[in-house]
Structure 1
Amino acid sequence: MAFAGKYELESQENYEEFLAAIGLLNAKTDHKVITEVLQDGSGFTWTQSIPNWTWSNKFTVGQDCELTTMKGVKFTAAVTMEGGKISIPFPQYHFTAELIEDKLVMICLTPGEKSVTFRRTSRRI
């Protein structure tokens, strides 16, 4: 599955609820998020940017990788891919990403009884 490319935010659902659930409500923004994915086999560099802020992680599918949360906290997690879907267990949510009809669809699901499902769809640019 070729994720490599640049994507621009097209739509998102439950964004504010998700930010509140992970303690980042003040980070709310109306900017168009740009996601850039560099891929070399099973190795990825995944970068999200808005003006004045960039967040990037490098990882290899099938390995434990050192990653960084949106808050800048480092952690180690196993990155997997099944059925063309990347899966990463972040400390406060579970992240998946897949390509659906050339659109990058990212879903973040917070755990617990009051879980929040944040869905972001971006179009290739």
Structure 2
Amino acid sequence: MAFAGKWETETQEGYDEFCKLAGIPDDIIEKGRDYKLITEVVQNGNEFSWSQLYPTNKSITNKFVIDQECDMETIGGKKFKATVTMEGGKLCTKFPKYHHIAEISGGKLIETSTVGSVVLKRTSKKI
């Protein structure tokens, strides 16, 4: 149950370049640059509910079970099918335009999203 809880962004690296490659509009990039993204995770064994509140005041909740295909949604509203896997304690998901890994390290939620050679690394503290 390491992921369970409410998390707030502390730092982001590679934000602007990643967002541009992911097709996020400039005005949304600007709003989100210094925004403290709130992530709330409810974990029950291999079942997860993963919610994020974005700077546009839009909230996205994706529910999934490890190793089972599920319906997911991006911040842009794009719906897609994905299978979240657990690899060495890390949650791994292939979104339509990028690959996302979430892990707990040193009591922090570390999220790494990769599109080509561009990496967005977000570190969040538990609140």
For the aligned pair, the TM-score class normalised by the smaller chain equals over 0.9
Q: Give the CA deviation at 1:69.
A: 1.3
**Correspondent of 1:31 among 35, 38, 42:** 35
Q: How does 1:8-23 map to 2 (within 5 A)?
A: 8-23=8-23
**Correspondent of 1:46 among 50, 70, 74:** 50
Structure 2 match to 1:6:
6
Deviates more, 1:30-39 or 1:88-97: 30-39
Q: Give the CA deviation at 1:61.
A: 0.5
Q: How does 1:63-102 map to 2 (within 5 A)?
A: 63-102=68-107
Q: Structure 2 unaligned runs (5+)? A: none
The one-character-per-residue Cα deviations of 1:29-70 (angstroms, maximum 9, x if unpaired) are 222111110111101111111352212211111111111112
Q: Give the CA deviation at 1:25.
A: 3.6
Aligned-residue Cα RMSD (Å) equals 1.2
The answer as to whether partners of 1:16 and 1:25 remain within 8 angstroms in 2 is: no
Residue identity over aligned pairs, in percent, reads 48
TM-score (normalised: structure 1) = 0.92
Deviates more, 1:70-79 or 1:94-103: 70-79
TM-score (normalised: structure 2) = 0.91
Give the number of equivalent residue pairs: 122
Q: Give the CA deviation at 1:77.
A: 1.2
Q: Secondary structure at 2:23's aligned position in 1?
A: coil
**1:121 pairs with 2:123:** yes
For residues 6 and 41 of structure 2, the distance between their equivalents in structure 1, rounded to whole angstroms, comes to: 6
**Paired AA for residue 35 in structure 1:** T
Superposition misfits of 4+ residues, deviation over 2 angstroms: none
Q: Give the CA deviation at 1:107.
A: 0.4
Q: Structure 1 unaligned runs (5+)? A: none
